[in-house]
Structure 1
Amino acid sequence: MPITARDIETMLRDAFPQGQVKVEGDDGAHFAAQVIDESFRGMNRVQQQRAVYAALKGKMDGSHGELHALALTTKAPD
């Protein structure tokens, strides 16, 4: 069964419960996510994105991952 935007959003909300999370996409493979969370304060963009990828629990790992493309926007709240 392909991964859904709701699946991704649930994983991200579990990892960033105080954050603002928005996930879009409906083709089962390509998505866009925005995560705004206080835990990102002081992190550079690569560190923020690594934290998001870790929250996805291997769903993007390798050529057999369920999630093939994720356009990612991350930042700390203003």
Structure 2
Amino acid sequence: MAILASDIEAMIRTGFPEAKITVMGDDGAHFSAEVIDESFRGMSRVAQQRAVNATVKSAIDSGALHALALTTKAPD
């Protein structure tokens, strides 16, 4: 069951509607994403990544998304 980068972006966008989101990867299971959002300001990197992972949890739990490497930060 392959998943598309656009699907992952849409899932992340549900939790971070104003974020700048870039998702890369084209093998259908392994992706990387950069999420830049104001809500991350003052949060630890671990908390930021947990928040993003929560938005894609259903895809991870179903096995559709095998790996998602994350880069998260507040805007400069």
TM-score normalised to structure 2 length: 0.91
Structure 1, residues 1-49: CA drift from partner, whole Å, max 9, x if none?
A: 3111010011111211111000011101110100000111111011000
Q: Unmatched 5+ residue regions in structure 2?
A: none
- The percent of aligned pairs where both chains have the same amino acid is 67
More helix by share: 2
TM-score normalised to structure 1 length: 0.89
Q: Unmatched 5+ residue regions in structure 1?
A: none
Q: Within 2, Cα distance between the matches of 1:50 and 1:59? A: 15
Structure 1, residues 41-72: CA drift from partner, whole Å, max 9, x if none?
A: 111011000000111132223xx521111111
- Residue 73 (structure 1) aligned with residue 52 (structure 2): no
Which residue pairs with 2:34 in the alignment? 34
